[in-house]
Chain A
Amino acid sequence: MAFDFNVILDNWALFARGTWLTIIIAVAAVAVGFLISIPIALMALSHRRTLRWIATAYVEWFRNIPFIVVLYLFFYGLPFFNLRLPEAIVGTIALAFFASSYFAEIIRGAILAVPKGQMEAARAIGMSYFQGLWEIVAPQTVRLLVPPSTNTSISMVKETSVLSTITVAELTYQGLVVQGETFAPFEVFLTTAAVYWVVTAIFAHFMHRAEKAFGAAQGAHQARTSLADKYLLIGARRPA
Chain B
Amino acid sequence: MTKTLLKVSNLAKSFGGATALRDISFDVAAGEVVCIIGPSGCGKSTLLRCINHLTAPDSGFVEVAGSYIGRERKADGKLRMQSHREIDRMRPKMGFVFQQFNLWPHLSVLENIVKGPIKVQKRPRAEAEEQALALLQRFGLRDKAHMFPSSLSGGQKQRVAIARALAMGPELMLFDEPTSALDPEIVKEVLLFLRELADSGMTMVIVTHEIGFARHVADRVVFLDRGYVAEAGPSNDVLSNPTNPRLREFLSQITSDQPAAGKGSSPAAEQPIH
Complex formed: what's the CA distance from A228 to B88 in Å?
37
Q: Which chain A residues lie closer than 8 Å to B228 at the CB level?
A: none
- The residue of chain B having its C-beta at the shortest distance from the C-beta of A135 within the complex is B119
Chain A: number of interface residues, binned into ranges: 20 to 34
For residue A49, CB closer than 8 A to chain B, the reply is no
Known A117-B100, A222-B105; judge A228-B119 contact (CB<8 A).
no
Task: Report if B165 contacts A (CB, 8 A).
Answer: yes
Interface string of A47-69 (1 = CB under 8 A from B): 00000000000000000000000
Minimum CB–CB distance for A100 against chain B, Å: 26
A4 to chain B, nearest CB (A): 56
Q: Per-position contact with A for B84-106: 1 when CB-CB < 8 Å, else 0?
A: 11001101100110101011111
Q: Assuming A124-B91, A126-B89, is B150 touching A225 (CB within 8 A)?
A: yes
Distance in angstroms from B212 CB to nearest chain A CB is 22
Which chain A residues in 123-177 approach chain B with CB under 8 Å? 123-129, 131, 135-136, 139-140
Given that A126-B120, A221-B105, A229-B150 are contacting pairs, would A135 and B115 also be in contact in the complex, using a CB cutoff of 8 Å? yes
Q: Within the assembled complex, what's the spacing in Å between the Cα atoms of A128 and B120?
A: 9
Find out whether the CB atom of A229 lies under 8 angstroms from the CB atom of B104: no
Contact yes or no, A228 B183, CB < 8 A: no
B168 within 8 A of A: yes
- Chain A contacts with B in 177-235, Cβ cutoff 8 A: 218, 220-222, 224-226, 228-229, 233-234
A124, A129, A131, A224: which contacts B54 (Cβ < 8 A)? Answer: A124
B185 at the interface (CB under 8 A from A): yes
> Nearest-CB distance from A111 to chain B (Å)?
14
Q: Which residue of A lies closest to B147 (CB)?
A: A221
A88 to B39, CA, bound (A): 66
Q: Closest residue of chain B to A139, judged by CB?
A: B106
- Could you say which residues of chain B place their CB within 8 Å of the CB of A125? 91-92, 115-116, 120, 164-165, 168
The interface residues of chain A lying within 8 Å CB-to-CB of B85 are 128
Is B104 a contact partner of A127 (Cβ separation < 8 A)? no
Is B213 part of the contact surface with A, judged by Cβ < 8 Å? no
Which of chain B's residues have a CB closer than 8 A to the CB of A128? 84-85, 88
> What is the distance, in angstroms, from A85's C-beta to the closest C-beta of chain B?
40
Shortest beta-carbon distance, A239 to chain B, in Å?
11
Which of A121, A122, A221, A224 gathers most chain B CB within 10 Å?
Answer: A121
Asked if B98 contacts A121 (CB within 8 A), the reply is yes
Q: Please indicate the chain A residues that have their CB under 8 angstroms from the CB of B266 in the complex.
A: none
Q: Are B116 and A126 in contact (CB under 8 A)?
A: yes
| Cα–Cα, bound, A123→B89 (Å) | 10
Q: Name, among B100, B106, B164, the residue most crowded by chain A CB atoms within 10 Å (CB to CB).
A: B106
Residues of B within 8 A of A117 (CB): 98, 100, 102
Given the known A-B contacts A117-B100, A229-B151, A234-B183, are A123 and B88 also in contact in the complex, defined by CB atoms under 8 Å? yes
Q: How far is the CA of A220 from the CA of B147 in the complex (A)?
A: 11
Q: What are 30 A-B residue pairs whose CB atoms fall within 8 Å in the complex?
A: A117-B98, A117-B102, A118-B102, A118-B104, A121-B104, A121-B164, A122-B104, A124-B52, A124-B54, A124-B95, A124-B96, A124-B165, A125-B91, A125-B115, A125-B116, A125-B168, A126-B121, A127-B116, A128-B85, A129-B84, A131-B120, A135-B115, A140-B106, A221-B148, A221-B150, A221-B151, A222-B148, A233-B151, A234-B183, A237-B153
Having A124-B92, A125-B116, one finds 12 other A-B pairs with CB under 8 Å, namely A117-B100, A121-B103, A121-B164, A124-B165, A139-B106, A140-B104, A220-B148, A221-B147, A222-B148, A224-B151, A234-B154, A238-B185
Write the residues of chain B forming the contact surface with A, with a CB cutoff of 8 angstroms: 52, 54, 84-85, 88-89, 91-92, 95-96, 98, 100, 102-106, 115-116, 119-121, 147-148, 150-151, 153-154, 164-165, 168, 183, 185
